């Protein structure tokens, strides 16, 4: 047999070996049911402020290197055998999965709570009509004392009362000693009373016979609150422009005009 024939024979034998799977590198399939990979979690630290700042101690034993873990949807990340501190975990009940070099896995549940429950309530005092006598008093709870307070992104203060406020919306922010924050938007009103202020103006100037007392079907009955509320914007506009009451009737004084405007701006409330 010449050298060419020998070479062809060797090559054919090599191919047969590969096809039949008889190479030296063949490995038996791993039975993960028999794997001694074990995982445990200890010394968990809860998250605060709703942030991803919880942590726990991960311990891996057994199995076949290399190792990876996945928790809280973070994707698999490399980790060493033994004990590792895992940080940056949000609050929640998570499934932790560890995978070894044989692609065997072990899982364990990890519960991280949100320990901060910072909240607050507020009491509001009316500003008055065209004045700035309003106050916001805040009562904070939960979180970690002491608290600090600010209004509309202004100066941070230790005092929980803001005074000298005019009508309008204000955003109150409370911060605790851990840096956790909570905020809410509050509306300071003028506090003009419909029953004590607006009704007397209507009764004296509008709710008269053949006018807005209900006796004239062509005109709204302003002895009923719902009708006044439905026409509040028009009433404010016309009293401010001086076209209401109509010509030939006594004019409203400036304080009455301001009171109507303030009541309407407060939302035309039944107060």
CATH number at residue 151: 2.60.40.1080
Looking at the fold, whether 105 and 140 belong to one and the same domain comes out as: no
Looking at the fold, whether 43 and 63 belong to one and the same domain comes out as: yes
Residue 155 maps to a domain? yes
pLDDT digits (tens, 9 = 90+) for 88-114: 998 889 999 999 999 999 999 999 988
Distance CA(194)–CA(235), nearest Å, equals: 14
Q: Using H for helix, E for strand and C for coil, what is the string for 172-187?
A: EEEECCCCCEEEEEEE
Question: Is the pTM above the cut of 0.85?
Answer: no
Range of the domain at 127: 119-188
133 pLDDT above the threshold of 60: yes
Q: Taking residues 187-206, what's their average pLDDT? A: 93
Rg over CA atoms, the chain: 39
Residue 18 maps to a domain? no
Distance between terminal CA atoms of the chain? 116
Answer whether 257's CB lies under 8 Å from 251's CB.
Answer: no
Residue 19 maps to a domain? no
Looking at the fold, whether 128 and 181 belong to one and the same domain comes out as: yes
Residue 5 maps to a domain? no
Distance CA(39)–CA(58), nearest Å, equals: 7
């Amino acid at each position: 047999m010449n050298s060419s024939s020998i070479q062809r024979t060797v090559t054919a034998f090599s191919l047969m070996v590969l096809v039949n799977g008889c190479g030296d590198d063949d490995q038996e399939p791993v039975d993960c049911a028999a794997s001694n990979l074990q995982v445990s979690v200890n010394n968990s630290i809860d998250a605060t402020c709703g942030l991803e700042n919880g942590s726990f101690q991960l311990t891996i034993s057994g199995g076949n290197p290399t190792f990876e873990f996945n928790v809280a949807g973070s994707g698999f990340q490399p980790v060493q055998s033994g004990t590792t501190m895992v940080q940056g975990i949000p609050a929640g009940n998570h499934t932790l999965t560890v995978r070894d070099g044989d692609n065997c896995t072990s899982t364990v549940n990890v519960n991280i709570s949100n320990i901060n429950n910072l909240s607050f309530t507020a009491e509001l005092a009316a500003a008055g009509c065209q004045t700035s006598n309003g106050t916001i008093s805040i009562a904070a709870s939960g979180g970690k004392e002491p608290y600090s307070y600010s209004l509309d992104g202004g100066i941070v203060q230790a005092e929980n009362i803001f005074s000298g406020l005019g009508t309008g919306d204000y955003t109150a922010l409370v911060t605790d000693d851990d840096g956790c924050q909570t905020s809410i938007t509050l509306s300071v009103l003028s506090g003009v009373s419909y029953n004590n202020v607006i009704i007397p103006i209507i009764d004296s100037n509008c709710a008269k016979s053949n006018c807005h007392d209900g006796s004239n079907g062509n005109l709204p009955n302003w002895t009923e609150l719902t009708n006044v509320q439905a026409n509040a914007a028009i009433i404010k506009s016309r009293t401010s422009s001086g076209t209401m009451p109509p010509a030939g009737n006594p004019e409203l004084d400036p304080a009455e005009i301001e009171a109507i405007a303030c009541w309407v701006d407060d939302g035309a409330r039944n107060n």
